[in-house]
Amino acid sequence: MNEDQLFFEPAVSLSTTDVDDAEGLADTLIPDGDGGTGDNGASVPGDATPPDGPLRRMIDDHFIQYASYVIRDRAIPDLADGLKPVQRRILWSLHEQDDGKFTKVANVVGHCMQYHPHGDGSIAAALVGLTNKLTLIEGQGNFGNLHTGDPAAASRYIECRLTGMARDELFNDHLTRLVPNYDGRRKEPVTLPCKLPLLLLLGAEGIAVGLSTRILPHNLGELLEAQIAILTKERFRIYPDFRQGGTMDIREYNKGNGRVRVRARIEPRGKDTIVITEIPFSTTTESIMASIEAAARKKKIKIRAIQDYTAEAVEIEITLDEDQEPQRAIQALYAFTQCEVPISARLIVIDDGKPVEMDVNAVLRDATERLVKILKRELQWRKRELEADVHKRTLIQIFVENRIYKRIEECEAYPEVQAAVRTGFDPFAAQLTQSVTEKDIEMLLSIPVKRISRFDIKRSRKEIGDRVREIGEIEKKLGAMTPYAVQYLRGMIRAYAGDAVRRTKVETFKDVEIRDLTAEELTVRYDAATGYLGTGIKGEDAVLTCSSYDKVLCVWPDGRYKVIPPPERLFVEELIYLGPAERDRVLTIVFTHGDFTFLKRFKLGGTIMNRDYMAGGVTSRVLYFSDASPETLYVKYHKASRLRITEQEFDLTAVVARGARARGNQMTSKKIRVITDVRPRGWKDDPDRPRGRFKNF
């Protein structure tokens, strides 16, 4: 579990200031025995309003503080630099220890514990996570495997250091505002003056109290190009990009919110082998293989073997059964395994101390505005630094070149020395950009004689001229910050994003028809001798081939019917029909009810699973049932005295399909011996034969 998913409630102490006295506390917590209120009028648990009192108010206050702390200082990243507090403290610790060499992770964790009061485990886990993103921290040793999910080695065995990009773009001690740490002994940054859009580059996940965030990572080059588009007022589109690669469908993605569907990259090799070369974000080869094995056990996909050859790159080889087509197997992997996963996104950040929901475009615009401000502050700081340096060098040059130091030889007291130096600069006031201060005088008086004797006037003038020209260039940049920011971004693209190609390809997925893939997944058999039905029944004849997503319609001789999922073994006694349950398919039934025979065409419509329904009356007997919508029924009657009509044809083309509860159409009051939708042998067309007619109900 991640550091930001482990929350520890601060200790709650009860002092004498929290309650007036023990008696008041007891009255607040203990109601009267009659279930009403105590003498102090406090509410009891039976009331609509929970009991109020000093203890409840104290708990409410502590909970609000705890929730606010978790949201602001643990789980949700800050919009200013895109970092969570633990990440910021890790980077600051590396910055303080940075000498260009690798440092033991255990040492970094120990140093960071001065700023992060939540234990070494959470710090080490966050540091490994940052290192595996390959942007800010460079690792040496076993930091785990992103593809397989293998954990990192112990902190004492692995080393790390800041990357060049982190050194150049994250830190500036002159612009960093520091505050005391949790024990007041040291100072830590509120936010880092970051010039990169880290929030979108790294991504983030965090679960706080009643609040969660999930920000998907993006491609560095695309982010920087989008920032240039913002500065030049051009349109841009930005989509997530994952280190694991794969393909991505963004139809349900809305600028950092919504969700994306990510698929593994699967390639057929030969007739019976397919290979997974890239996996979706948030999965590992271990979880992928486990999901494939589970799908194979459920007969969703037919495989003979699966092998994992993953090392630097993903390679999962799947050997298929002889009758399994590779393309159909690939579709089944997308449908039934983690080879396709939906990834939800919700962009919530801390802005000015408060959680806010934003979108990618707004975050990128804020990062661009912040970049321009930071660049401007850096230029202004450099200008002040150069101006101070020019002033210092000019003072030294005048002091040495005009031998002002000779004035102090005749001075007896130190105030006279300071005054002599100050008055010595009066003739040269026009050459100075600033007035001479006491600090300047002290600096001049501390110059060694050796330096004065070897002072190079030409070199001094050249150095002053170089700095003056640099000040002029800075002033030009300050007057055109947008072009300078664009130039700076292009420099970062050349330096850091030259090989940052997109790994995840954006595609529109064709929806996988799960029912088509599993149409022959199950074979439901019925054993008339035992009355059992199901996929676990042994027999030679297959009654029904269906999917596990299908529903089965069972019809009994008395007109009772039921919709059930494909069972493994179910006792059903005698059935007259077994088939797929389709709510819009027209069914035809002929049944006796009392002294009459009825015909009904109906649709199943909506049914409740495993519930009995009646197609006819309570005492009905089904004579004919079909799901094929016959156009003609051929009927032969039992012979009886005075019975002139012994056979009839019934035309069903005009019979309208009704609801399942309708009684139907009356066919006849004669007793039927044979009824069929297949023309009997020897049945002759007789124009004088009476046609069957229906009486509607």
Alpha helices per DSSP H over 518-622: none
Could you give the CA distance from residue 18 to residue 58 in angstroms, rounded to a whole number? 7
Q: What angle do CA 602, 604, 607 make, to 5 degrees?
A: 150
Q: Which residues have CB under 8 Å from 95's CB, separation 6+?
A: 162, 167, 170, 171
Specify the residue for token string 């049945």. Answer: 683
Could you give the CA distance from residue 515 to residue 98 in angstroms, rounded to a whole number? 59
> What DSSP designation does 4 have?
G
Residue 591 backbone dihedrals phi, psi, to 5 degrees: -145, 155
Could you give the CA distance from residue 460 to residue 463 in angstroms, rounded to a whole number? 5
> What DSSP designation does 221 have?
H
Q: What angle do CA 183, 188, 193 make, to 5 degrees?
A: 165
Could you give the CA distance from residue 499 to residue 502 in angstroms, rounded to a whole number? 9
Q: How many other CB atoms sit within 10 Å of the CB of residue 418?
A: 17
Contact 274, 320 (CB under 8 A): yes
Q: Which of 224, 264, 227, 256 is nearest to 240 (CA)?
A: 256
| Burial group, residue 438, by CB count within 10 angstroms (0-12, 13-18, 19+) | exposed
Q: What angle do CA 223, 228, 230 make, to 5 degrees?
A: 95
State how far Cα 235 lies from the chain centre: 26
H/E/C letters for each residue in 362-411? HHHHHHHHHHHHHHHHHHHHHHHHHHHHHHHHHHHHHHHHCCHHHHHHHC
524 strand-pairing partners? 544
Active site residues: 157
Could you give the CA distance from residue 560 to residue 616 in angstroms, rounded to a whole number? 8
| Burial group, residue 594, by CB count within 10 angstroms (0-12, 13-18, 19+) | exposed
SS3 for 691?
A: strand
Q: Which helix (H) or strand (E) holds 553?
A: strand 552-555
